[in-house]
Amino acid sequence: MKKTDQNKNKSCMKKNKKSNKKLKVNIDLSKNITYEIPSRNIGLPFFTALFFITNIGTALYKQYYVYASLFAFLTITSLFAHSSENIYIDKIGVFFIVTYGGYILYTKLCCNEKNNCIIIGAVISFAICILLYIYGNLKKSFCFHPNTCIAHKYHGLLHFISSLGHHFIVFA
């Protein structure tokens, strides 16, 4: 096996020698019931999705209740997507957050509620997220790097920067 093939299959988490075996839980209540625990490893993006909880608190503090509920939805869908194989449900939450965040930023720009430094920070964080996700997808780098450990680190960075950008939008 080539070194590049080995990097593709590398995982960030240390594995036990018994990790290839499926764990079984037997419960005997006059019937033999067997439950197999899924063997999917939860990576760094699952835990960094919890950054969005801070956005829920910030939005509630500043009385953006729709924004807070959208962040709650995004947190739930992101945790679900990063713990299962269904990544498409997360894209729905991302679409709502980007659309509503853009709407809030636009209304703040139009209503002369300007704090230019914070608005520039929000725009820069959006540009960095586009670079990490869309450009990375096109070039198979950053969040889509062939080495899953590197890809997970960039995806965690994406969660942090997007969370920070939406904090900028709320406080602009």
3-state SS, 44-112, equals: HHHHHHHHHHHHHHHHHHCCCHHHHHHHHHHHHHHHHHHHCCCCHHHHHHHHHHHHHHHHHHHHHHHCC
- Answer whether residue 90 shows pLDDT above 80: yes
- Answer whether residue 23 shows pLDDT above 60: no
pLDDT, tens digit, for every residue of 96-141? 999 999 999 998 888 866 678 888 999 999 999 999 999 999 999 9
- pLDDT score of 130: 96
- pLDDT score of 113: 64
Q: Give the rounded percent of residues in the chain with a pLDDT score beyond 90.
A: 60
Contacts of residue 33, Cβ cutoff 8 Å, sequence gap at least 6:
26, 27
